[in-house]
Amino acid sequence: MSKILFIVPPLTGHINPTVSLGQYLIQQGHEVAWVGYTESLSRSLPAQHRVCSLDQTEVNKSDKPASGIGQHGNQERRGFTALFHLWESIFIPLARQSFPHILAHLSSEKPDLCIVDQQMLGGAMACQKLGIPYLTSATTSAALIQVLKGLPQVNTWHDNLLKGLWREHDLNPYLGLEQLEQLHLEQPRLDLSPLGTLAFSSKELTLSIAPEQHLPSNIHFVGPALEGERTHIDFPWSRLNREQAKLFVSMGTVNAQRAAPLYAKIIEALADLDLQVIAAAPVEYFKTAPKHWIIQERVPQLQLLAHVDAVFCHGGHNTTMEALAYGRPLLIAPIRDDQPVIAEQVKAFGAGLRTHFTRSKPRIIQQKIKKILDCSQIKSSAIRASKSLVHSDLIYQQTEYSETSVQLPTELGAHRASQIIQGYLDQMST
C-alpha cells in the first residue's frame, strides 16, 4: 500500500476532516501520518496516530506564526483589514517558517502522496520542490469561489502575495509536477493542487451565492468527513431535557474573549424561553444563565448535534457543515475571514439566517432563534442541504440521549475522499 502524509495548519477546523479521512485510509492498509503542530493535533487526533511535528525549540514561542493564529480570533480587525492581517501576518509567515521543516520531513518520509491544507502553503511548496504529488484539502467552501471577483485590486494583491512567496523560494509559481504535464488549467491557482482538490462541502452550497462561477473539474465535493474515532469528551447526557427544544451555541475555539458580549446578549434573549441551550464556551461567561442550560468549554459536538433542534454559531466551516449534515437550521453571527461568506451561502440556500456579531440586540437574537426553530421552510431547506452533503435522507439513528446512541453511516465524506485518493494512487502507479 501507499504512504500518505497530511500537512495541516494549527487550526482545529482544518484538522478535523483529515482525522476521519486518515483513519479511513489506515483501515484500507495505507501508512498515514500528520505533519503539523503537536498542541493543535493533540486536541483532535487520537493518541495512537503518528505525528511529524513542526514544533520548534525556541524559547519565545509567541514569535511563531503558529501562535499568531490562535491570537487572530481576539483581534479587533474586520473586513479587508482582517484579511490583510490574516495573509500578511499569519499565513505567509507560517509558510516561510514551516517550509524548511516540512521539506525535511518529506525528504525523510518519502511519501507517495500528500494531502495539503489549502492554507498550508509551505506544504504545497515543499511538495513542488521535491516533485511529490499532492492533493489540496479544502476545509472551507468560501476559499473555492472568487469572493473578491469584483475587487480587482484586492485580487491582484492576493495573487502577487502568493507568486512572491513561490519565487522567494526559487519555485516557478505555475510549474506543474512532471506526472501532470498533460493537465492544462485555464486559471492555475497556487493554493490549489494541479492534481486535484478534496472539498469537504457540496457544490450546491458552495455556489449558492455564485451560481455563475465555473469551478475546475478536478475539485471533488465529498461532503463533511464525519466518520471515525474522535477524542473522547465527557458530557452530562442525562441533563438533556426531552420536553424542551434544544439550541447548540458555539462561537469557535479562537473567539472566546471576543464573544463574551454576545454570550451576555444570548442569556438575556433566551433565558425566559422554553428552550434548553447547550453552549461550547467558557463557563465564566454564563454565570447568570438558567440552571438547566449546559455550558462546557468543549463538548462532543458531532454526537451532540444529533440531539439538538438548531444551531447558533459564528459560521466556522466545520460546525456549519456538521450542523447541516444533520439537517439542523442555523443562525450565524460571522466574525471575520471566511465566516461572512459561509453565512451568506447558508442564507442563500435558505437553511438559516444571519445576524450581526456585535450589533445584534437581544430582541433581534430572540426573534431569529424563534424563526429558525419554527419556520418550516428553513427546516426543509436545512434537510435539503443535508441531502446535498451526505447523499442520504438520514445520517444517524437516535435511540436515546447519549453519545453511543448516534450511529453514523460508514460511507460519508471520508469514504468518498478515500475513493478519490485511491483513484489517483492507481493512476500514478500505471
Report the percent of the chain where pLDDT is more than 90: 66
Please give the pLDDT value at position 157: 86
| 200: CB partners within 8 A, 6+ apart | 17, 137, 138, 139, 222, 223, 224, 225, 317, 321, 413, 417
Please give the pLDDT value at position 428: 85
Q: Range with the lowest mean pLDDT among 64-73, 373-382, 411-420?
A: 64-73
Which cell numbers in the block locate residue 42? 493533540
- The DSSP call for residue 197 is E
Query: Backbone phi, then psi, for 332, in 5-degree steps?
Result: -120, 130
Mean pLDDT of the residues in the chain: 87
Please give the pLDDT value at position 186: 46
Whole-angstrom Cα distance, residue 336 to residue 404?
35
| 423: CB partners within 8 A, 6+ apart | none
Residue 61 has pLDDT above 50, yes or no: no
Q: Cell 460519508 appears where?
A: 412
Of 178, 61, 70, the closest CA to residue 128 belongs to 178
Report the percent of the chain where pLDDT is more than 70: 87
Of 347, 300, 297, the closest CA to residue 324 belongs to 347
Residue 149 has pLDDT above 70, yes or no: no
Is this model's pTM higher than 0.85 or not? yes
Residue 224 has pLDDT above 50, yes or no: yes
Instruction: State whether residue 407 is helix, strand or coil.
Output: coil
Domain segments of the chain as ranges: 3-227+414-429, 237-408
Stronger pLDDT, 211 or 285, i.e. the higher one? 285
Could you tell me the pLDDT band of residue 77, with boundaries at 50, 70 and 90?
Answer: low
Q: Cell 472568487 appears where?
A: 146
Give the architecture (CATH level 2) of 3-227+414-429. 3-Layer(aba) Sandwich (3.40)
Please give the pLDDT value at position 321: 95
Please give the pLDDT value at position 72: 46
What average pLDDT does this structure show over 52-56? 90
Whole-angstrom Cα distance, residue 322 to residue 226?
8
Residue 397 has pLDDT above 70, yes or no: no
Residue 171 has pLDDT above 50, yes or no: yes
Please give the pLDDT value at position 151: 67
Residue 62 has pLDDT above 60, yes or no: no
Confirm if 41 and 60 have CB atoms less than 8 A apart. no
Strand order of the β-sheet with 330-332 is 294-296, 275-280, 245-250, 310-313, 330-332, 352-354
Condensed to tens digits (0 to 9), the pLDDT of residues 81-133 reads 777 888 898 999 999 999 999 999 999 999 999 999 999 999 999 999 999 99
What are the Cα distances from residue 254, in Å, to 40, 77, 183, 250, 302?
12, 14, 39, 11, 19
Could you tell me the pLDDT band of residue 180, with boundaries at 50, 70 and 90?
Answer: very low
Confirm if 193 and 136 have CB atoms less than 8 A apart. yes
CATH of 237-408, one of 3.40.50.2000, 3.30.230.10, 3.30.70.330, 3.40.30.10: 3.40.50.2000
Which of 171-180, 207-216, 313-322 ranks highest by mean pLDDT? Answer: 313-322
Are 3-227+414-429 and 237-408 in the same CATH fold? Answer: yes
Residue 155 has pLDDT above 80, yes or no: no
Whole-angstrom Cα distance, residue 129 to residue 125?
6
Whole-angstrom Cα distance, residue 26 to residue 29?
5
Which of 227-236, 278-287, 398-407 ranks highest by mean pLDDT? Answer: 278-287
